[in-house]
Chain A
C-alpha cells in the first residue's frame, strides 16, 4: 500500500559538524551546531522549528535542543529505538508530522562523541539480576563472549560464506569502494586514503571472518536534517529534496543484531520489509535508482541489502560488487560520500545528507541522473529506509 504522506514532505536543509576522533566539545554542542547548520542551509530561523525527531540512543534530550535553539514551542518530538536502525525513520516521522500538519519544520538530529566518549564497538557487558526484557535479551549471547556488533555480524557472515560461497574478498570490495569514494571527499575521515583489496586482506582480524577494514570507524560528530512541506520549501534557500518514500521494518523472529534463530540468516528480512514499502510507495523499480547509500557499519550486510532491494538476486551480490560494480562508474555506485567506513560513523545520518546532495547535484562524487536516491538505516537491527527524489 502506498503511504499517504509520501511526496508531501521534503528535506530542505542539511548540517553537520566536522567528523573527528576527538571533538573536544560536548555532545550537546555537537547536536546544536548540526541543527543550527541545517537551519542555516535551508534559510530557516531555528525558532520556526516546532518538531524534533531523533534516536532513543541519543543523549541530548529534545528539551536541551529546544533551549539551545531558542525554540518557543514544540508540537512534535519523537524517538526511534534500535540504534543505527533509526536514521531514515527520523525523517519518516518528520515527514508524517509535516504532511499531517502536526508540525511545520522538524529537525532530525544525531550527535555523539562516539570515538572519544563511550564506544559502541566495545559491546555489551554484565547484566543485572532481575533484568528487564531489554537487558535479558543478551542473556544468551553475552556469557558466551559474543559481546560486540562485529561479533554478531560475523555470525551472519560465516553463514553467507557457507551458503552463497561469498569470500572475504567480496566483503573487501565494499570497503575498497567506500574508501575510493572517501578519498575524494574532503569531509571524510579517510580523505585522500584509498585502499586496495590487498590492504583489506592484510588488515588484522577483529572477529573472523571480519578484518579490521570490514568494520566502520568510530566518530565524534553531529548531523541534522530539516524537514518541511514542499509548499514551504519553495521559498527556502535550497532546492527541495522530496521524501518519495520512507519505511521502517522488523520481520519474523526479530532480535537486535542477533536474529540467529530464523529459518535463514543469510538475508535481512527486516530490510526486505522496508524494500517492499519503498518500491510500492515510490512506484519506482531498482532500474530507476542510479546511486544508493547503503548502511555499512560492516561490509557483509551491504551485500545482503543489494539482494533485499532487488538490485540482484539472492546470493548474487558477490557478482554485483565484482569489477567495481558499486564504485563510481559501476552498475550502482554505493556510498559516494565514503560511507561509514570512509566518511564517518554517524549512525547513518551522514548517509541521508549524502542522499540529499546527490539529488541536489552537489555531491563531491556526483552520479549523473541521480534523480532518485535510496538511503538505508542500520542492518541486522530493526531498521528504516528512504527514497529521496528531486521536486517535480
Chain B
C-alpha cells in the first residue's frame, strides 16, 4: 500500500464515532478522597461538605482532572486467566492504530493530553464518553522516526446527556529507528563527551568527622539538623569549634532547627565532575530560619540543592531540608568502619496551600508561582495510578515495567495532570474553577527522581476572571509535562 493509499484509508476514518463507554459506578466520595490523598490535594471543595457548600460549586465536587477516570474499565483480568482473544476493538482510534501497525508504524508515544471542563462533576453523576477520531496527520519526520499523529476527542456527558467536558488526546505512531540521524556532532565534541561519573551518593567524598563535629553528623543520621550551641552563653554558630568565642566555654551542645531557610548564594558546578553527584550541580549557601547567631542574622549552612535547575536557582528562594542517606548499604557489617553517612540537602520549600482565593485583579501577567519539588517515591506513582483508575502494569509493577523496556514504573498521565492541578489550585486558592488542563508530554517521571513544578501566569483577563497559568514539571531527564492550566477566578 502506498503512503497516499494509507493516508486515504486513515483519513476515511476521521470523524467516525466509537461506541458509548459508560462508568460502572457514579462519581463517589470514597474515590474522590482516595484521589485527593494520592495527589496530596487538600482543597476542601472535594471533601469538606461545609466548605464546599460555601464555594462557587455549592457542594462537594470531584477534582476536574478526574473527568476521564470514572468511565474507565477496571483492572483487566490477569493474562493467565484471560479468556480467549476478545474481538478487536471497533472504535475508530483502535482501527486507525491497527492500520498503522500493519504499515510498520509500530512505535507509540503519547504527545498531548488536553482536558476541557464544562462543569465540575458531582457525587452521583454517572459519566459516559463517546470517542471521535479528530485527525490523522500526514506522514511526518520526527526525532523518534517517521510517523503519523493520531488525535481523538472524547466527549464526556452524564447519563442524562449533560455535557461535562472533553478530552483531546494525541499520540504519535512511528516507525522505530527511522529517526533523524544526529549529524551535528563534531569529532572534537564527541571526543570531549566523557561519560558522566556514577552519581550514587555512596561515592560522595566523606566528611572528616572528629570530636569537634561528630555530634552534628550523629544528628544527621537521625534526620535532625543540628547546629553547634554553646551551653555557656547559648550562642548558636556554624561551623563548629570546641571553644565558644563569645564566652570562652568549652561546653558545646547543639540546637535542632527546622531546616527551613533561604538561599543566600550558590555555585553551579560543571567541572570537574566526580562520582557521587549529578551535574550540573547546584550547591547552596542557606541562611537557616530559627537559628539566630545573636547578631540578628540567620546562621548559614551549606549543602547541595535538590530539584532546582541552574536556571531556577535564585538568591532569596525559600528552601527546606531533605535528607540523603548517602550510604544505605553501609549499615551493620559495613565495609567502612565509619558506618552510614547521611547528608542534608535542600529543596524548594513546599508551597503552602492558599486558604482564600485569589481574584483575577490581584494576579499579574508574568507572575511566577513558587517552585514545588516532589521527591517522587514509588508510592506516589502506584497510588496515583490506582486513584486515577489506570491499571496499566507499567504504573504499578516494576518487574513488568522493566520487562517492557522501561527503566522502572513511571507516573501515568492522569497523575501528572492531577499534580499539576493541585500545584496551581494550591497557589490560586480553593475556589478557583479549572476550565482546562493542557499538556505536552515529555520525559517519563520515574521514582526517586525529584519532580519539580514551576509556573508563571501567561495571561489575565481581569474582566472575565480568566487566568492562564503556564506550568512545567521537570526531572533530571528534562521536561516531563509542559502545558497550561486555565482558571476562572472572581474578576
Q: How many Å from the CB of A181 to the closest CB on chain B?
A: 26
Q: Are A206 and B270 interface neighbours, CB within 8 A? A: yes
Asked if A129 is at the interface of the complex by the 8 Å CB criterion, the answer is yes
Q: Which of B206, B237, B297, B300 interacts with A127 by CB under 8 Å?
A: B206
Q: Which of A128, A136, A159 interacts with B264 by CB under 8 Å?
A: A159
Assuming A122-B272, A146-B302, A261-B238, is B315 touching A162 (CB within 8 A)? yes
Q: Are A158 and B266 interface neighbours, CB within 8 A? A: yes
Per-position 1/0 for A128-158, Cβ under 8 A of B: 1111110111111111111110011011101
Q: Are A125 and B205 interface neighbours, CB within 8 A? A: yes
Q: Are B209 and A207 interface neighbours, CB within 8 A? A: no
Write the chain A residue with the least CB distance to B339.
A129
From B269, B281, B302, B337, residue with most partner A Cβ within 10 Å: B269
Measured CA separation A162–B287 after assembly (Å): 15
Q: Are A263 and B295 interface neighbours, CB within 8 A? A: yes
Q: Which of A128, A130, A138, A158 interacts with B265 by CB under 8 Å?
A: A158
Asked if B65 is at the interface of the complex by the 8 Å CB criterion, the answer is no
Measured CA separation A132–B206 after assembly (Å): 14
Assuming A123-B272, A158-B266, is B343 touching A144 (CB within 8 A)? yes
Chain B residues positioned under 8 Å from A131 (CB to CB): 207-210
Q: How many Å from the CB of A261 to the closest CB on chain B?
A: 5
Q: Are B265 and A143 interface neighbours, CB within 8 A? A: no
Assuming A151-B283, A155-B267, A207-B271, is B343 touching A133 (CB within 8 A)? no
| B interface, over-half SS | loop
Chain A residues positioned under 8 Å from B212 (CB to CB): 133, 136
Q: Are B285 and A155 interface neighbours, CB within 8 A? A: yes
Per-position 1/0 for A263-300, Cβ under 8 A of B: 10100000000000000000000000000000000000
Measured CA separation A148–B269 after assembly (Å): 9
Q: Are A139 and B209 interface neighbours, CB within 8 A? A: yes
Q: How many Å from the CB of A143 to the closest CB on chain B?
A: 5
From B217, B270, B303, B337, residue with most partner A Cβ within 10 Å: B270
Write the chain B residue with the least CB distance to A128.
B208
Asked if A124 is at the interface of the complex by the 8 Å CB criterion, the answer is yes
Q: How many Å from the CB of A125 to the closest CB on chain B?
A: 5
If A146-B283, A151-B267, A206-B270 are given as contacts, then 19 extra A-B residue pairs at C-beta distance below 8 Å, sorted by A number, are: A126-B206, A127-B208, A129-B337, A133-B212, A136-B209, A136-B212, A140-B239, A142-B207, A143-B205, A143-B206, A143-B326, A143-B341, A144-B302, A151-B283, A158-B265, A205-B280, A207-B269, A208-B267, A260-B302
Asked if B11 is at the interface of the complex by the 8 Å CB criterion, the answer is no
From B208, B210, B212, B269, residue with most partner A Cβ within 10 Å: B208
Please list the residues of chain A having a beta carbon within 8 angstroms of any beta carbon in chain B: 121-133, 135-148, 151-152, 154-156, 158-159, 162, 204-209, 255, 260-261, 263, 265
Assuming A122-B272, A143-B206, is B300 touching A261 (CB within 8 A)? yes
Q: Are A155 and B266 interface neighbours, CB within 8 A? A: yes
Q: Are B269 and A146 interface neighbours, CB within 8 A? A: yes
Q: Are A158 and B315 interface neighbours, CB within 8 A? A: yes
Q: How many Å from the CB of B265 to the closest CB on chain A?
A: 4
Measured CA separation A123–B269 after assembly (Å): 12
Q: Are A208 and B270 interface neighbours, CB within 8 A? A: yes
Q: How many Å from the CB of B292 to the closest CB on chain A?
A: 13
Q: Are A159 and B205 interface neighbours, CB within 8 A? A: no
**8 Å CB contacts to A: which residues of B290-327?**
295, 297, 299-304, 310, 315, 326
Q: Are A159 and B265 interface neighbours, CB within 8 A? A: yes
Asked if B204 is at the interface of the complex by the 8 Å CB criterion, the answer is yes
From B237, B267, B297, residue with most partner A Cβ within 10 Å: B267
**8 Å CB contacts to A: which residues of B340-373?**
341, 343, 345
Measured CA separation A155–B282 after assembly (Å): 11
Measured CA separation A193–B272 after assembly (Å): 25
Q: Are B264 and A145 interface neighbours, CB within 8 A? A: no
Q: Are A154 and B205 interface neighbours, CB within 8 A? A: no
Number of A-B contacts (CB under 8 A): 144
Interface size on B, residues (CB 8 A): 45
Q: Are B283 and A144 interface neighbours, CB within 8 A? A: yes
Measured CA separation A135–B209 after assembly (Å): 9
Q: How many Å from the CB of A113 to the closest CB on chain B?
A: 19
Measured CA separation A204–B204 after assembly (Å): 25
Q: Which of B270, B277, B337, B341 interacts with A204 by CB under 8 Å?
A: B270
Measured CA separation A205–B267 after assembly (Å): 11
Q: How many Å from the CB of B440 to the closest CB on chain A?
A: 28
Q: Are B207 and A154 interface neighbours, CB within 8 A? A: no
Q: Are B270 and A207 interface neighbours, CB within 8 A? A: yes
Measured CA separation A204–B269 after assembly (Å): 12
From A144, A155, A156, A159, residue with most partner B Cβ within 10 Å: A144
Measured CA separation A16–B221 after assembly (Å): 52
Measured CA separation A223–B439 after assembly (Å): 63
A sample of 25 inter-chain contacts (CB < 8 A) reads A125-B205, A127-B207, A128-B206, A130-B209, A139-B217, A140-B213, A142-B204, A143-B207, A144-B345, A145-B269, A145-B277, A147-B269, A147-B274, A151-B283, A159-B264, A162-B265, A204-B270, A205-B268, A205-B280, A207-B268, A207-B269, A207-B270, A260-B265, A260-B302, A263-B295
Write the chain B residue with the least CB distance to A266.
B265
From B217, B264, B338, B345, residue with most partner A Cβ within 10 Å: B264
Q: How many Å from the CB of B393 to the closest CB on chain A?
A: 37
Chain A residues positioned under 8 Å from B491 (CB to CB): none
Chain B residues positioned under 8 Å from A128 (CB to CB): 206, 208
Measured CA separation A208–B269 after assembly (Å): 6
Chain B residues positioned under 8 Å from A142 (CB to CB): 204-207
Q: How many Å from the CB of A286 to the closest CB on chain B?
A: 29
Q: Are B205 and A151 interface neighbours, CB within 8 A? A: no
Measured CA separation A132–B264 after assembly (Å): 29
Measured CA separation A207–B268 after assembly (Å): 5
Enumerate the 6 nearest inter-chain pairs by beta-carbon distance, A residue then B residue, closest first.
A131-B208, A127-B208, A208-B268, A139-B207, A154-B267, A135-B208
Chain B residues positioned under 8 Å from A143 (CB to CB): 204-207, 326, 341, 343
Measured CA separation A191–B206 after assembly (Å): 42
Measured CA separation A132–B272 after assembly (Å): 26
Chain A residues positioned under 8 Å from B267 (CB to CB): 146, 151-152, 154-155, 158, 207-208
Q: Are B213 and A139 interface neighbours, CB within 8 A? A: yes
Asked if B234 is at the interface of the complex by the 8 Å CB criterion, the answer is no
Write the chain A residue with the least CB distance to B299.
A261
Measured CA separation A70–B406 after assembly (Å): 71
